[in-house]
């Protein structure tokens, strides 16, 4: 597969950081996915599962859950937690080589992937592999960082600016952003087009409201979550850290977004 210009690797692309078990964002994602794409089928794949903190929230939704990741320490942590919960045989952690998913075509009923695509070496290859393993009619629920959130959530390698949460940095022209950013970032229409080109029909996409996990002062955090940032989804891009896309695996040739 040739790497297109849009699929070029950022020179300073950083590895993703797994979510913590007490992060509010993982609860928010789970609620949105269950509401927008009610569980169906037997096998769930979590692409980029990390330590499994998010994966385990889907444990009651599918008989078999498979988490894949490139990081062996993360997979080891997930395996330990699987054993502690007594879920051996129902929740599996599998090494992904960053290129080919170790599953037969059409073996997966539903794939989830949250804040992972922006870190992979070749995004078109990753989406093609996800499309290959999801059965026709199966579901993909994928989220990526939202370009129009006011802070750069992954930080950037800028001189004299070591602070991770750089305001408005993601609003720069793409060529400037990608020069210093530690991860890709997406507009809503852009990620819909990439997913559709991989062989999915877009069923729904929403902006995920910022969870305010990074706010340290608890009274302020509670106030923000009860007011401006209360809904799980928002129509206002500047209040959203991520874009969530729900798509259905197309039968036959790739299809564009649904009307």
pLDDT single digits (tens) 181-239: 778 899 999 999 999 999 999 999 999 999 998 888 999 999 999 999 999 999 999 99
- All structural domains of the chain: 5-249 (3.40.50.150)
pLDDT at 170: 82
Distance CA 214, CA 162 (A): 16
Tell me the pLDDT band of 51, cut-offs 50, 70 and 90: very high
The answer on pLDDT for 79 being more than 70 is: yes
Mean pLDDT along residues 237-259: 77
What per-residue confidence (pLDDT) applies to 193? 97
Task: Give the helix ranges, DSSP H, for the chain.
Answer: 24-36, 72-84, 123-133, 174-180, 188-197, 218-226
Position 5 confidence tier, pLDDT thresholds 50, 70, 90: very low
- Kindly tell me if the per-residue pLDDT of 101 is higher than 50: yes
Backbone angles phi, psi at 147, to 5 degrees: -60, -30
Backbone angles phi, psi at 77, to 5 degrees: -65, -40
Residue 137, C-beta contacts closer than 8 angstroms, at least 6 positions apart = 248, 249, 251
State residue 257's pLDDT score.
Answer: 41
Better pLDDT: 62 or 257: 62
Model pLDDT for residues 112-166, shown as the tens digit of each residue: 999 999 989 889 999 999 999 999 999 999 999 999 998 877 766 666 565 556 7
The pLDDT value given to residue 2: 40
pLDDT level of residue 1 (50, 70, 90 thresholds) = very low
Higher pLDDT, 208 or 175: 208
Confidence bin at 253 (pLDDT 50/70/90): very low
Does the pLDDT of residue 3 top 70, yes or no?
no
pTM: 0.87
Q: Are 189 and 198 in contact (CB under 8 A)?
A: no
Tens of pLDDT, residues 11-39: 555 566 667 767 899 999 999 999 999 99
Mapping DSSP onto H, E and C, the string for 140-176 reads EEEEEEECCCCEECCCECECCECCCCEECHHHCCHHH
Length of the chain: 259
């Amino acid at each position: 597969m040739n790497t297109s210009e849009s699929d070029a690797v950022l020179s300073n692309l950083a590895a993703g950081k797994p979510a913590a078990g007490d992060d509010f964002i993982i609860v928010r994602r789970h609620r949105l996915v269950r509401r927008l794409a009610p569980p169906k089928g037997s096998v769930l794949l979590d692409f980029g599962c990390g330590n499994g903190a998010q994966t385990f929230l889907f444990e009651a939704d599918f008989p078999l859950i498979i988490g894949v990741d490139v990081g062996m320490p993360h997979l080891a942590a997930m395996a330990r937690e699987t054993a502690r919960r007594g879920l051996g045989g129902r929740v599996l952690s599998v090494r992904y080589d960053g290129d080919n998913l170790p599953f037969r075509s059409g073996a997966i009923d539903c794939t989830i992937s949250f804040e992972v695509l922006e870190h992979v070496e070749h995004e078109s290859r990753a989406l093609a592999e996800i499309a290959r393993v999801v059965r026709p009619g199966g579901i993909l629920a994928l989220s990526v960082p939202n370009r129009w959130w006011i802070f750069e959530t992954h930080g950037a390698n800028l001189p004299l600016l070591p602070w991770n949460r750089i305001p408005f940095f993601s609003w720069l022209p793409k060529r400037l952003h990608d020069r210093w950013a530690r991860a890709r970032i997406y507009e809503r229409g852009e990620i819909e087009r990439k997913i559709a080109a991989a062989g999915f029909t877009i069923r729904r996409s929403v902006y995920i409201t910022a969870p305010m996990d990074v706010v340290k002062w608890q009274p302020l955090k509670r106030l923000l979550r009860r007011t401006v940032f209360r809904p799980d989804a928002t129509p206002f891009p500047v209040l959203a850290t991520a874009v969530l896309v729900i798509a259905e695996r197309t039968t036959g040739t790739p299809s564009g977004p649904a009307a």
